[in-house]
Amino acid sequence: MLMTDYSVCPKCHQQSWRMMPFARYVIFLSALPVLVTLIVTFIVHPLFVLFVPVVLLLNMRAAKKRIRLGRCQACLYTGPCAS
Ligand SMILES: [Zn+2]
């Protein structure tokens, strides 16, 4: 697996394919569960805030296993990585 920021687009084959940054992907995965946890924290008990790092940790592990999304800057195709 290439670690470069730009690679070849699976659709138009131009060197404009950009992978979604890992941190952004984790935030993308965690946004909803973290929001739910924060709502529970405010309604039920402040101790539920401890679940936020747990959710982030679980999503970081999930993001490593999952196929990451990429986007082509030339034809604007968005999808999973080709390789
Ligand atoms: Zn393309």
Q: Looking at the 3D structure of the chain, how many domains does it have?
A: 2
Q: How far is the CA of 38 from the centre of ligand 1 (A)?
A: 39
pTM over 0.75, yes/no: no
Q: Are residues 31 and 53 in the same domain?
A: yes
Are residues 57 and 33 part of one domain?
yes
3 and 31 inside one domain: no
CA of 75 to the centre of ligand 1 (A): 4
Task: Assess whether 62 and 37 both reside in one domain.
Answer: yes
Domain of residue 31, residue span: 22-67
pLDDT bracket for residue 82 (50, 70, 90): low
**How far is 75 from 12, CA to CA, in rounded Å?**
7
Same domain flag for 30 and 57: yes
52 and 36 fall within a common domain: yes
54 and 38 within one domain:
yes
Q: What is the pLDDT of residues 26-59, one digit of tens each?
A: 888 889 999 999 999 999 999 999 989 998 898 8
Query: What is the whole-number distance in angstroms between the Cα of residue 58 and the centre of ligand 1?
Result: 32
In a shared domain, residues 61 and 72:
no
pLDDT tens for 71-80 read 898 999 888 8
Residue 4: C-alpha distances to residues 21, 56, 77 (Å): 11, 25, 18
Distance 48 CA to ligand 1 centre (A): 44
* Per-chain residues with Cβ under 5 A from ion ligand 1: 9, 11-12, 72, 74-75, 77
58 and 30, same structural domain? yes
CA of 57 to the centre of ligand 1 (A): 33
